[in-house]
């Protein structure tokens, strides 16, 4: 591929290896959660409720797998990825301004390119895209780029607290079997059956129509379809709060210089696991989303600090090197996951949609990610950037990487 330059040791000094490792592990966690949406109509089944025609056919090991994913994976790695998005913005800002360039104009081009990729991904590859949300929320994050660390922290905590309070209030309100709810569940059942038929047996065109239908259905809930910016922002507060939290940590330089903050990070890790672990276990048992919303960021923080701590051991650091390679090519790997998974599950590939339950899905996730670990490692032996990272960088800086 022309324009891609070989790896150069001097260029790699700009990267923080343990951050790349965290990002690579986050990509794996996201795949574990996304496997449900790849393999069966989980969006519609969640509306129907846990007592539905699909979940009722699961074996005990499938239910145990779902419990473990809900407890230790669900929402932890998408918040981690969101944290890294905000963290990365501050790193990028510092590096760009150190070269005397305009950060905002460059970052706006970066977001516009991400938005374009997100649109293509959502409507032409897989409807569960998150890139469009990151791009749109990124414009709002840009308004906070010059704020002090304390300000970022206050905003992050305040917004997340408001969202959490709302979730708690909703969870305490009795749910009546109203006609409106019945109608929504009936609609969801029809949509689930339609998705099962089209994704597993439909033509390429029918799959494309179903993907657009599912994406639009999701957009009606998050406020995008109705062009409601207030609803859209509120729905995505967990992501945006983590953007701000990541920017806060980057400004404090806790993760850039972890050896200087060993005592502080250790205390944060202990507090995080003591709060996060029991809350997430309770969520796995009770299915109370409020517990997940509160507990996920704590367990996420614990995960990140533990990863940083483990990279201090040479043997473990070597074992985690492939994860770092995935992290350095995270954009390409995120899209690659969609390409591989849709080929496995949709009718134009192997047509396994609706035929894979959580336990088997776990092993498919591990198999896909194992391939990504190998491909990423081999790719970076020759090139500095992943293929989509290279395109993204060219569109952002308007020049070919040296």
Q: Is residue 383 part of a domain?
A: no
Rounded average pLDDT over 326-331: 98
Task: List CB contacts of 268: < 8 A, sequence separation 6 or more.
Answer: 301, 305
In the structure, what pLDDT confidence band is assigned to residue 179 with cuts at 50, 70 and 90?
Answer: low
Q: How far apart are CA 76 and CA 394, in angstroms?
A: 31
User: Is 372 a residue whose pLDDT tops 50?
Assistant: yes
Q: How far apart are CA 274 and CA 157, in angstroms?
A: 19
50: exposed, middle or buried (C-beta count within 10 Å: 0-12, 13-18, 19+)?
exposed
Rounded average pLDDT over 366-391: 97
In the structure, what pLDDT confidence band is assigned to residue 2 with cuts at 50, 70 and 90?
Answer: very low
More confident position, 61 or 399: 61
Rounded average pLDDT over 315-329: 96
In the block, residue with structure tokens 């609609």: 187
- Looking at the chain, the whole-number percentage of residues with pLDDT higher than 70 is 94
Q: How far apart are CA 394 and CA 19, in angstroms?
A: 23
In the block, residue with structure tokens 């308007």: 398
Contacts of range 103-109, beta carbons closer than 8 Å, 24 or more positions apart: 103/145, 104/142, 104/145, 106/396, 106/397, 107/138, 107/142, 107/145, 107/396, 108/139, 108/142, 109/395, 109/396, 109/397, 109/398
Contact between 345 and 352 under an 8 Å Cβ cutoff? The reply is: yes
Q: How far apart are CA 161 and CA 237, in angstroms?
A: 10
Q: Is residue 114 part of a domain?
A: yes
Q: Is residue 1 part of a domain?
A: no
Q: How many domains does the chain have?
A: 1
Give the phi and the psi of residue 323 in degrees, each rounded to 5. -65, -35
Report pLDDT for 175: 56
Rounded average pLDDT over 284-300: 95
Report pLDDT for 5: 33
Task: List CB contacts of 235: < 8 A, sequence separation 6 or more.
Answer: 221, 222, 223
Phi-psi region at 100: left, alpha or beta (left = phi > 0; alpha = psi -120 to 50):
left
Report pLDDT for 3: 36
Contact between 358 and 65 under an 8 Å Cβ cutoff? The reply is: yes
Q: Is residue 30 part of a domain?
A: yes
Report pLDDT for 400: 85
More confident position, 170 or 349: 349
Q: Is residue 266 part of a domain?
A: yes
Q: How far apart are CA 29 and CA 106, in angstroms?
A: 30
Report pLDDT for 270: 98
Mean pLDDT in the chain?
A: 92
User: Is 177 a residue whose pLDDT tops 80?
Assistant: no
Q: How far apart are CA 211 and CA 128, in angstroms?
A: 9
Q: Is residue 131 part of a domain?
A: yes
Q: Give the tens place of pLDDT for each residue, 233-291.
A: 999 999 999 999 999 999 999 999 999 999 999 999 999 999 999 999 999 999 899 99
In the structure, what pLDDT confidence band is assigned to residue 180 with cuts at 50, 70 and 90?
Answer: low
Q: How far apart are CA 193 and CA 254, in angstroms?
A: 49
Report pLDDT for 14: 62
Report pLDDT for 227: 84
pTM to 2 decimal places: 0.93
Structural domain including 364 reads 20-375
Contact between 144 and 237 under an 8 Å Cβ cutoff? The reply is: no
Report pLDDT for 174: 62
């Amino acid at each position: 591929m022309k324009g891609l330059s070989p790896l150069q040791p001097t260029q790699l000094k700009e990267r923080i290896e343990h951050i790349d490792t965290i990002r690579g592990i986050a990509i794996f966690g996201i795949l574990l959660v996304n496997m449900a949406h790849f393999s069966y109509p989980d969006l519609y089944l969640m509306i129907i409720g846990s007592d539905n025609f699909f979940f009722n056919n699961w074996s005990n090991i499938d239910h145990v797998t779902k419990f473990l994913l809900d407890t230790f994976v669900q929402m932890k790695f998408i918040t981690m990825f969101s944290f890294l998005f905000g963290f990365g913005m501050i790193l990028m800002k510092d590096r760009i301004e150190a070269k005397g360039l305009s950060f905002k104009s460059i970052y706006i081009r970066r977001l516009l390119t991400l938005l374009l990729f997100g649109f293509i991904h959502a409507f032409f590859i897989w409807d569960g895209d998150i890139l469009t949300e990151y791009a749109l929320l990124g414009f709002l994050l840009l308004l906070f780029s010059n704020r002090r660390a304390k300000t970022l922290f206050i905003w992050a905590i305040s917004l997340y607290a408001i969202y959490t309070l709302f979730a708690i209030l909703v969870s305490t309100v009795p749910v009546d079997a109203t006609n409106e709810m019945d109608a929504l569940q009936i609609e969801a059942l029809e949509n689930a059956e339609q998705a099962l038929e089209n994704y597993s047996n439909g033509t390429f065109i029918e799959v494309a129509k179903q993907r657009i239908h599912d994406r639009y259905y999701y957009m009606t809930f998050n406020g995008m379809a109705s062009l409601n910016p207030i609803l859209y922002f509120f729905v995505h507060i967990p992501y945006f709060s983590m953007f701000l939290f990541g920017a806060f940590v980057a400004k404090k330089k806790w993760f850039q210089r972890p050896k200087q903050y060993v005592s502080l990070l250790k205390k944060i890790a202990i507090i995080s696991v003591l709060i996060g672990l029991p809350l997430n276990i309770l969520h796995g048992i009770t299915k109370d989303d409020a517990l997940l919303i509160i507990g996920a960021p704590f367990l996420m923080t614990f995960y990140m600090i533990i990863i940083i701590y483990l990279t201090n051991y040479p043997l473990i650091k070597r074992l985690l090197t492939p994860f770092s390679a995935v992290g350095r090519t995270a954009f390409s790997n995120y899209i690659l996951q969609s390409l591989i998974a849709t080929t496995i599950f949709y009718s134009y590939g192997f047509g396994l949609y609706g035929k894979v339950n959580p336990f088997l899905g776990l092993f498919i996730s591990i198999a896909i990610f194992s391939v990504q670990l190998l491909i990423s490692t081999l790719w970076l032996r020759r090139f500095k950037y992943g293929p989509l990272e290279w395109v993204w960088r060219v569109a952002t800086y308007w020049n070919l990487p040296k």
